Amino acid sequence: MAASASPDSAVQQRIVIENCAIATVDADDTEYAGGHVVIAGNTIESVGAGKAPEGLANVVRRVDGTGHLATPGLINTHHHFYQWLTRGLATDHNLFDWLVALYPTWARIDAQMLTAATHGSLGMMVKGGVTTACDHHYVFPRGAGDLVAAELAAAADIGARITLARGSMDRSEKDGGLPPDFAVETTEGALIATEEAVDAYHDGSFGSMVHLAVAPCSPFSVSTELLREGAALARRKGVRMHTHGSETVEEEAFCHELFGMGPTDYLASTGWLGADVWMAHCVHMNDSDIAAFARTGTGVAHCPSSNARLAAGIARVPDLLAAGVPVGLGVDGTASNESGELRTELRNALLINRLGAHREAALNARAALRLGTYGGAQVLGRAAEIGSLEPGKLADLVLWKLDGLGHASIADPVTALVFGPPAPVTLSLVDGRPVVEDDHLTTVDEDAIARATRSEARRLARIAAGG
């Protein structure tokens, strides 16, 4: 029998999707070989086997999902949109060398560039099934314009939900950090600007399209004061906290040299563990670190392709999950993951983790899909709203075409989605509104975005070269 929401939604316009396989990713991993989803307004009204209920009023659209799989929209828990303009550079570097090579270019970004980069980066993700994305933006050059406003306006153009993790850096080369001196803010300036962004844009209501988070960049690019005061600010404002953690062996050595302890213990000492915190990467964690994350409810954004691109290592995802740590997937910036897609991270998370200690038992197809959907919702603090197809949740849904050449001979649709090539998106809804139809963005001109990103990438390269 179909599960249904309350009848209050009866006056709302409805979209009915039928005849598709459905992976709800609910607590029981309920699946239907042939079923329906009814959407009323911006929420899911019912999900179940067979045809939709008879006699539904105000049906404005019916979608025949034959040959398709419906899933929750994918949720990207870690990204750097601005890096869309610096793809394909420093391709044979580890993290620290890569950062040193690219910081001087990134420090020249302005609002016009970030608008184009957001259109390109978020647009590419949304074409590939992402409905919610977190962007960790921490580069705020002087005179660059209002970067927060520019990014959020561009995200609104695309139509995806966004968590903007307002980042910051105050430790430059003169302080023993990696960024050039002109690429960082003052501690006080970063805190003031972060609070202003939260006050101006964060919307914590059900169904919000914009969340803000407090997000000093990393243990090696910010001061202890910025971490401590940033944590206090976030908790005073009731918003989440995000940073990079335990990404490389070099970071581990850096933290021991500067602070006399590893990254997890150092971040714990500054208030950066808790159910309101998630960290990107978390590759080099020992048993004690994992236990600390589990005990405090700290989440992890697992970025398998970026970790491989920068030779960072293999995160202990099976051990994190077994301990009860919330884990989602992240694309990471496209300067370290040029594909810019989360749908490919489902497959890469599964394959790369099978190279680790757990081998073929590390992850299966459904565990990978859960990482990219419900796990991401947990990490971003939105599991009551998104991440699974259940009555009452927001209508963020993707209809994947699996009857074409790349997938038709794989009997199980979830296996086809995860193990097969990137599946085309026939329909993607965010808040009940189409953002993708027949593998194309509905809200923006893709060709115009491509031209703008190419132009802005060239302008950035000229400015960085002193031209």
Residues pairing with 434 in the sheet: 429
Which are the contacts of 157, defined by CB distance < 8 A and separation ≥ 6? Answer: 119, 443, 444
- As to burial, measured by CB atoms within 10 angstroms (0-12 exposed, 13-18 middle, 19+ buried), residue 165 is buried
Q: Find out whether 214 and 222 touch, Cβ atoms under 8 Å.
A: no
DSSP state of 182: G
pLDDT of residue 4: 56
pLDDT of residue 121: 98
pLDDT of residue 223: 95
pLDDT of residue 182: 78
**One-letter identity of residue 432:** G
Residues pairing with 39 in the sheet: 15, 44
pLDDT of residue 9: 45
Q: Find out whether 224 and 264 touch, Cβ atoms under 8 Å.
A: no
CA distance linking residue 397 with residue 429, whole number of Å: 5
Which residue, 219, 251, 364, 242, is CA-closest to 299?
242
pLDDT of residue 1: 43
Which stretches of 10-57 are assigned E, i.e. beta strand?
Answer: 14-23, 31-40, 43-49
Phi first, then psi, for residue 200 (nearest 5°) are -80, -35
Output the pTM of the full model. 0.96
Which residue, 242, 240, 221, is CA-closest to 107?
221
Phi first, then psi, for residue 393 (nearest 5°) are -85, 165
- Residue-by-residue pLDDT tens, the chain, 467 positions: 456 554 444 468 999 999 999 999 999 999 999 999 999 999 999 999 999 999 999 999 999 999 999 999 999 999 999 999 999 999 999 988 998 899 999 999 999 999 999 999 999 999 999 999 999 999 999 899 999 999 999 999 999 999 999 999 999 888 877 777 777 999 999 999 999 999 999 999 999 999 999 999 999 899 999 999 999 999 999 999 999 999 999 889 989 998 999 999 999 999 999 999 999 999 999 999 999 999 999 999 999 999 999 999 999 999 999 999 999 999 999 999 999 999 999 999 999 999 999 999 999 999 999 999 999 999 999 999 999 999 999 999 999 999 999 999 999 999 999 999 999 999 999 999 999 999 999 999 999 999 999 999 999 999 999 86
The CB-side HSE value for 427 (13 A sphere, CA atoms) comes to 25
Domains of the chain: 3-72+391-441 (2.30.40.10), 74-379 (3.20.20.140)
Q: What angle do CA 112, 117, 123 make, to 5 degrees?
A: 130
Which residue, 34, 264, 73, is CA-closest to 160?
73
pLDDT of residue 175: 84
CA distance linking residue 449 with residue 325, whole number of Å: 38
Q: Find out whether 217 and 244 touch, Cβ atoms under 8 Å.
A: yes
pLDDT of residue 6: 46
Q: Roughly how many angstroms between the first and final C-alpha of the chain, as a whole number?
A: 66
CA distance linking residue 244 with residue 27, whole number of Å: 29
The CB-side HSE value for 187 (13 A sphere, CA atoms) comes to 11
